[in-house]
Amino acid sequence: MSAKTSLLIFIILFTLTIPAVTVYADVPTVLSITRRTVSSNTIIDVTVRHAGPSVNHYISQVNLDLDGTIKTYADLPKPTEVQTTFTLNIGSANPTTINAQAVCNIHGASPWFKEGTAATSPSGGIPGYPLEAISAGIFIAIATTLVLGRRR
Given a cut of 80, whether residue 85 has pLDDT beyond it is yes
More reliable by pLDDT, 25 or 139: 139
Output the pTM of the full model.
Answer: 0.64
* Distance (Å, whole) CA 80 – CA 151: 60
State yes or no: pLDDT of 150 exceeds 50.
Answer: yes
| Beta-carbon count within 10 A of 96 CB | 8
For the chain, give the mean pLDDT: 83
pLDDT of residue 123: 47
Q: Average pLDDT in the 43-53 region?
A: 93
pLDDT tens track for 86-95: 999 999 999 9
pLDDT for 83 equals: 94
Is it the case that residue 79 has pLDDT exceeding 70? Answer: yes
Q: Give the CA distances from residue 102 to residues 125, 128, 132, 149, in Å, rounded to whole numbers and listed in that order.
A: 17, 24, 34, 54
- Written out in words, the top-level CATH class of the domain with range 29-126 is mainly beta
